Amino acid sequence: MLGVKTCCHGPGYESPLDAMKNGPRETLLYVPCIRHNVTPGKPDYLATVDVDPQSPTYSKVTQYRYTVR
């Protein structure tokens, strides 16, 4: 049913492809970093990566938060 308009269309884009083509570029990525078979005391973490090409920290991990098990 692509391209079909409905009465109850919510906010956003018609499809993921439409969002990719017409939406704003992402500036941050949230990346789960799962560690397998590591020594105790080194937990998994969630990293924030800067993906804005105009930023001085482009392609760098800007923050991370360890998980609690």
- Per-residue pLDDT 10s for the chain (69 aa) are 455 555 555 568 888 899 889 999 999 999 999 988 777 778 899 999 999 999 999 999 999 999 876
Residue 32 lies in a domain: yes
Q: Within a 10 A sphere around the Cβ of 38, how many other Cβ atoms?
A: 9
Residue 10 lies in a domain: no
Residue 5 lies in a domain: no
Residue 47 lies in a domain: yes
Q: Which domain holds residue 33?
A: 24-66
Least Cα distance to 46 among 64, 34, 24, 61 occurs for 64
Residue 7 lies in a domain: no
Instruction: Say how many domains are in the chain.
Output: 1
Least Cα distance to 55 among 16, 32, 29, 33 occurs for 29
Taking the model in full, what pTM does it have?
A: 0.68
Residue 46 lies in a domain: yes
Residue 6 lies in a domain: no
Residue 49 lies in a domain: yes
Spatial separation of the C-alpha atoms in residues 12 and 7, rounded to whole Å: 14
